[in-house]
Structure 1
């Protein structure tokens, strides 16, 4: 699940008055990124994401850890689809009509995100979100924010991925 608005990390106060995150922050690194759903491709860590409805068989967007070149993100996204879903064509989802015009591959953006695990391990709440991960867009100055390059899947609706748009004043820049 993602959010296009900048995200504020929610905190609660401990018995001693010390604030702590309600959710656990995670910073992907080489040791655990692959175990958390990322595919390593030429030293890039890429994953596919769904939109807020979470009802798609295939990703509507791709995230690559770090600020990467647009062409490298496209290649990493194709490698992710080949490894996870067994296909390499980024222009259509399997079963789509090849005669339908699909827009060109969208540009990638450089932005930041925070990966959250609900709940914070020390403060369980037993709700429906227990033991789930989510990524939210965040300003680069947010504690735990990591640089991300994001790319909408070409066959997904423009609004499906909710990727920050630099042309709309979002905290992002176009990848080169």
Structure 2
């Protein structure tokens, strides 16, 4: 799931009065990326993101760790779709009618993101978010952001992925 705006780490208080985080911030490294839903494609780590709706069968956007060229993100997103959905064509969702016109390929943006795991592994709370990951777009100056290049899936609605839009003042710039 993608958080729509800046993130805030929630704090819980234990029975003994000790405060502890309800979530942990994940920082990327090459060794652990695949363990967290990212696939490696020619040295890039890419993940599909959903809109949070229960009926999402395919990703509405993609994030690639690091600040990369637009063409590299297109290639990595296509590799993600091929690996997880067996679909070589990035421009349609599996089962879509190829005669239906879709928007042009969206541009990629260079932005920052935090990956939050709920709950903190040492402090389970039993809520609906247990053992899940969330993403929150963040300015580079916040604590724990990871540089990413993000792109909406071409067949997804423009607003589906909630990816920052550099033209709207979000913390992002266009990838080239």
Q: TM-score interval w.r.t. the shorter chain?
A: over 0.9
Distance 2:47 2:89 in 1: 16
SS, match of residue 83 in structure 1: helix
- 1:9 Cα deviation after fit: 2.5
TM-score for the superposition, normalised by structure 2: 0.93
Which digits, 9 at most, give the CA deviation of each residue in 1:109-129, with x for residues without a partner? 111111111111222211111
SS, match of residue 47 in structure 1: strand
TM-score for the superposition, normalised by structure 1: 0.93
Distance 1:44 1:52 in 2: 25
Q: Which residue is 2:64 aligned to?
A: 64
Tell me if 1:96 matches 2:58: no
1:66-85 matches, within 5 Å, as 66-85=66-85
Distance 1:54 1:146 in 2: 27
- 1:5 Cα deviation after fit: 1.6
Distance 1:16 1:54 in 2: 37
Tell me if 1:105 matches 2:66: no
Question: Contact conserved, 2:85 with 2:94, CA < 8 A, in 1?
Answer: no
Mind listing any 5+ residue stretches in structure 2 that lack a counterpart?
none
- 1:164 Cα deviation after fit: 0.6
Paired residue total: 175
Which digits, 9 at most, give the CA deviation of each residue in 1:42-71, with x for residues without a partner? 111001011021421111000100111000
Q: Which residue is 1:41 aligned to?
A: 41
Mind listing any 5+ residue stretches in structure 1 that lack a counterpart?
none
SS, match of residue 2 in structure 2: coil
Tell me if 1:160 matches 2:160: yes
Cα pair distance change 1:118/1:140, threshold 3 Å: same
- 1:105 Cα deviation after fit: 0.8
Cα pair distance change 1:57/1:154, threshold 3 Å: same
What RMSD, in angstroms, separates the aligned Cα atoms of the two structures? 1.6
- 1:16 Cα deviation after fit: 7.4
Q: Which residue is 1:27 aligned to?
A: 27
